Amino acid sequence: MTAVAIVVVARDPRRAKTRLRSVLAPRQRASLALAMLDDVVGAATRTRSTVLVVTDSRSVAARVRRLGARATVAPARGTRDGAARGLKLAERAGADAALVIAADLPFAAPADLRRVIAAGRRADIVIVPDQDRVGTNALFLRPPSRIAPLFGHRSLEAHRRAAGLRGTVLRVAGLGRDIDTPDDLRALQRSKRRAGINTRRALAAIASAAAPSTRRGSPSPRGARSRNPPSPPR
């Protein structure tokens, strides 16, 4: 039976999701990034594969260990470098194959990951594109050193070229949506019922913070009358 390791690259949440800064405060971006990571790691551990998280944050490493994953802390040098480190660790740990997945896939489910792993029985390389078919949201390699990971600008085409005839492109709806831009966030909010439990909680907190308050700046009609009582008749 093929031993598969799942590799997740996770940035320090304080520096994650910078393209959402026009719509989310720093603390909200960090909270959402951590929530999606928790859901991705949770989905990965439920496949019963070994889960390896590569991160530049000691607090994230401690967090995912509590979720049942292994973690290594390495300097932040981008997703490509983090994936390469994770693949080397997977091979050293004795994995016959590895699946690299993004940390910001709020709809990822164990069945989605198992589907990619199953496709890896027929192909040495399985490339799962983002919904725009430009980037790569998951990459299966058998063995883990089959090709170098090429995450970055237009990575789908880069991975396809590197894979050649040994690879296949597999669209998986649950792995297609990553969250980088305000449009991505709005799409997530529209489909939040399909997201993982931690992501749903983070979205609820964001929505609650955005809702008008009846206690600050938006007094109720009753409160407004009590502060401005009518003048007595003359």
For residue range 168-222, list pLDDT tens digits in order: 999 999 999 999 999 999 999 999 999 999 999 999 999 998 776 544 444 444 4
Lowest mean pLDDT: which of 70-74, 75-79, 160-164?
Answer: 75-79
Rounded Cα distance between 11 and 199, Å, is 17
Rounded Cα distance between 127 and 119, Å, is 10
Backbone angles phi, psi at 5, to 5 degrees: -105, 140
What integer pLDDT is reported at residue 2 of this predicted model? 80
The contacts of residue 103 (CB under 8 Å, 6+ apart) are 8, 9, 10, 11, 33, 36, 37, 40
Query: Of the candidates 160, 133, 60, 142, which has an alpha carbon nearest to the alpha carbon of residue 100?
Result: 142
pLDDT over 80 at 41, yes or no? yes
Rounded Cα distance between 59 and 184, Å, is 26
pLDDT over 70 at 61, yes or no? yes
What's 70-135 look like in SS3?
A: EEEECCCCCHHHHHHHHHHHHHHCCCCEEEEEECCCCCCCHHHHHHHHHHCCCCCEEEEECCCCCC
Mean pLDDT value across residues 153-160: 96
What integer pLDDT is reported at residue 90 of this predicted model? 97
Q: Top-level CATH class of 4-211?
A: alpha beta
What integer pLDDT is reported at residue 210 of this predicted model? 79
Rounded Cα distance between 143 and 45, Å, is 20
User: What type of residue sits at position 100?
Assistant: V
What integer pLDDT is reported at residue 211 of this predicted model? 72
Mean pLDDT value across residues 132-153: 96
For the chain, domain boundaries:
4-211
Provide the sign of the torsion angle of the four alpha carbons 142, 145, 148, 150, taken in this order.
Answer: positive
pLDDT over 90 at 225, yes or no? no
What integer pLDDT is reported at residue 220 of this predicted model? 40
The distance of Cα 152 from the centroid of its chain, to the nearest Å, equals 15
- Residues 198 and 35 sit within 8 Å (Cβ to Cβ): yes
